[in-house]
Amino acid sequence: MTAIQINQTSDASELERVVREIIALAKKQGASAAEVAMSSAAGFTVNVRKGEVDTVEYNRDKGLGLTVYFGQRKGSASSTDTSPESLVTTVQAACDIARYTGEDACAGLADAELMASDIPDLALCYPWNLTPEQAIDIARECEALACKEDPRITNSEGASVASYQSIRAYANSHGFDAVYPSTRHSVSCCVIAEQAGKMQRDYSYTVARDASDLRAIKSVAQEAAERTVKRLGGKKISTRKAPILFAADLASGLLGSFCAAIRGTSQYRKSSFLLDHLDKQVFAKHIRVHEQPHLKKALGSAPFDGDGVATCAKDFVKEGYLKNYILDAYTGRKLGMPTTGNAGGVHNLFIEPHVIKFNELLKQMGTGLLVTEVMGHGINIVTGDYSRGAAGFWVENGEIQYPVQEVTIAGNLRDMFLNLVAVADDVDRRGSICSGSMLIEEMMIAGD
The closest of 194, 199, 188, 184 to 221, measured between CA atoms, is 188
Does the pLDDT of residue 190 top 80, yes or no? yes
**Domain boundary, last residue among 178, 195, 230:** 230
304 falls within a domain: yes
- CA distances to 13, 213, 256, 434 from 431, rounded to whole Å, are 29, 14, 11, 7
Q: What is the pLDDT of residues 386-398, one digit of tens each?
A: 999 999 999 999 9
38 domain residue, yes or no: yes
Residue 116 has pLDDT above 80, yes or no: yes
Q: Are 279 and 287 in contact (CB under 8 A)?
A: no
pLDDT at 11: 82
Is pLDDT above 90 for 257? Answer: yes
Please report, in angstroms and rounded to a whole number, the separation of the first and last CA atoms in the chain: 55
Burial 255-280 (b: 16+ CB within 10 A, else e): bbbbbbbbbbbbbbeebbbbeebeee
Domain match, 334 and 422 both:
yes
- What's the whole-number mean pLDDT along residues 152-170? 97
Q: Are 348 and 394 part of one and the same domain?
A: yes
Q: Are residues 225 and 291 in the same domain?
A: no
In a domain, residue 1? The reply is no
Same domain, yes or no: 178 and 300 = no
Q: Does residue 142 carry a pLDDT above 70? A: yes
CATH code where residue 26 lies:
3.30.2290.10
Say if residue 224 is in the same domain as residue 251: no
pLDDT value of position 4: 60
In total, how many domains does the chain have?
Answer: 2
Model confidence at 7: pLDDT above 70: no
For residues 23 and 302, what is the distance between their CA atoms, to the nearest angstrom? 23
Residue 416 reports pLDDT greater than 80 = yes
Mean pLDDT across the chain: 96
What domain range includes position 70?
A: 8-230
2 confidence band (pLDDT: 50, 70, 90): low
Report the pLDDT averaged over residues 236-253: 97
Asked whether residue 417 is domain-assigned, the answer is yes
Distant-in-sequence, close-in-space partners of 73: CB < 8 Å, separation ≥ 6:
98, 99, 101, 102, 103, 104, 107
Percent of the chain at pLDDT exceeding 70: 98
Residue 366 has pLDDT above 80, yes or no: yes
Strand ranges for 108-261 from DSSP E: 153-172, 177-195, 198-208, 240-246
Q: What is the mean pLDDT of residues 144-171?
A: 97
Residue 415 binned pLDDT confidence (cut-offs 50, 70, 90): very high
Same domain, 221 and 272: no
Given this model, what pLDDT does residue 375 score? 95
The whole-angstrom separation of Cα 398 and Cα 393 is 12
Radius of gyration over every alpha carbon of the chain, rounded to an integer in angstroms: 24
- Asked if residue 402 lies in contact with residue 384, where contact means CB atoms within 8 angstroms, the answer is no
Give, in degrees to the nearest 5, the angle at Cα 25 between 308 and 12: 50
pLDDT computed for residue 414 by the predictor: 97
Is 361 part of any domain? yes
Is it the case that residue 173 has pLDDT exceeding 90? yes
Q: What percent of the chain stands above pLDDT 90?
A: 95
> Is the confidence at residue 425, as pLDDT, over 70?
yes
Domain co-membership, 288 together with 436:
yes
Answer yes or no: do 124 and 63 share one domain. yes
Q: Indicate if 408 and 345 belong to the same structural domain.
A: yes
Output the pLDDT for position 10.
65
pTM for this entry: 0.94
pLDDT tens track for 278-314: 999 999 999 999 999 999 999 999 999 999 999 999 9
What average pLDDT does this structure show over 38-55? 96
Domain boundary among 230, 251, 276: 230
**Nearest alpha carbon to residue 423 among 186, 258, 179, 264:** 258
Beta bridge partners of 179: 169
- Please check whether residues 285 and 385 belong to one and the same domain: yes
pLDDT score for 55: 96
Phi, psi of 217 (to 5 degrees): -55, -40
Residues 176 and 284 both lie in one domain: no
Q: What is the pLDDT of residue 287?
A: 97
Task: Show which of 202, 230, 258 is a domain's final residue.
Answer: 230
Which pLDDT value is given to residue 363? 97
176 and 299 fall within a common domain: no
Residue 3 resides in a domain = no
What angle, rounded to 10 degrees, do the helices at 132-148 and 217-230 form?
40
Q: What is the pLDDT of residue 8?
A: 62
pLDDT score for 12: 86
Q: How confident is the model at residue 1 (pLDDT cuts 50, 70, 90)?
A: low
Phi, psi (deg, nearest 5) at residue 100:
-110, 5
